[in-house]
């Protein structure tokens, strides 16, 4: 159901009106951490697609210090475990890191989401196939995402996420993806 504002504009229309200013307000590496703290006039947007489900999302989920509940719910569903269709609350800090890093890379390309939330069953299955999957993966808490961009290298993606100084960043050049999480600040190569 689409709600109208008092001016007759839909909530989606209002969010769309802010989209152009989001691009102009993209942070630089030098103020990446400031983007995560929030400032007046800030708009946060995330764009992703899934090769597994064929779904796409491009949404403004935060405006001037306020998360937009319906947009966050859409992100939670999009980042679900596609194998089980189970969705949980994705940690907002992870979404913020992903958004800030995407802005820093100055690209309009959406992320390809390889893995967001993973159910314990999915994580155990992946762990049985690869030594690179952590037993207590932050993916199982909705605190991590594995992402790819065609227009950027894993080095560029990792550097943008590291510049946020807000969580873990793993660069997997051989598999062409970057892991971003809101856990302790650290970085590694896989």
Q: Where are the domains of the chain?
A: 11-189
The pLDDT tens digits for 78-107 are 999 999 999 999 999 999 999 999 999 999
Cβ-contact 145, 165 below 8 angstroms: no
Cβ neighbours for 58, distance < 8 A, ≥ 6 positions apart: 45, 46, 47, 48, 110
Higher-confidence residue of 7 and 134: namely 134
CA–CA separation, 118 and 107 (whole Å): 27
6-to-9, 11, 76 alpha-carbon distances in Å: 7, 10, 29
Does the structure show a pLDDT above 80 at 34?
no
Q: Which two tokens stand for residue 49?
A: 């697609």
Does the structure show a pLDDT above 90 at 28?
no
Place 132 in a pLDDT band, splitting at 50, 70 and 90: confident
Does the structure show a pLDDT above 90 at 130?
no
* Global pTM value: 0.79
Residue 3: its pLDDT value, please? 41
């Amino acid at each position: 159901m689409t709600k109208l504002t008092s001016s007759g504009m839909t909530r989606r229309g209002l969010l769309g009106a802010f989209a152009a200013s989001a691009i102009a307000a993209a942070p630089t590496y030098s103020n990446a951490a400031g983007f995560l703290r929030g400032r007046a006039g800030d708009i946060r947007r995330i764009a992703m697609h899934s090769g597994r489900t064929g779904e796409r999302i491009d949404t403004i989920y935060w405006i001037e210090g306020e998360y937009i509940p319906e947009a966050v719910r859409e992100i939670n569903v999009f980042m679900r475990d596609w194998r089980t269709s189970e969705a949980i609350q994705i940690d907002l800090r992870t979404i913020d890191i992903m958004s800030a890093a995407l802005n820093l890379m100055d690209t309009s390309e959406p992320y390809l989401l390889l893995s967001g939330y993973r159910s314990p069953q999915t994580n155990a299955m992946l762990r049985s196939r690869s030594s690179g999957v952590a037993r207590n993966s932050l993916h199982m808490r909705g605190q991590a995402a594995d992402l790819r961009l065609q227009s950027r290298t894993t080095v560029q993606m990792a550097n943008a996420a590291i510049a946020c100084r807000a969580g873990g960043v793993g660069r997997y050049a051989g598999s062409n993806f970057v892991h971003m999480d809101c856990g302790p600040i650290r970085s590694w190569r896989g």
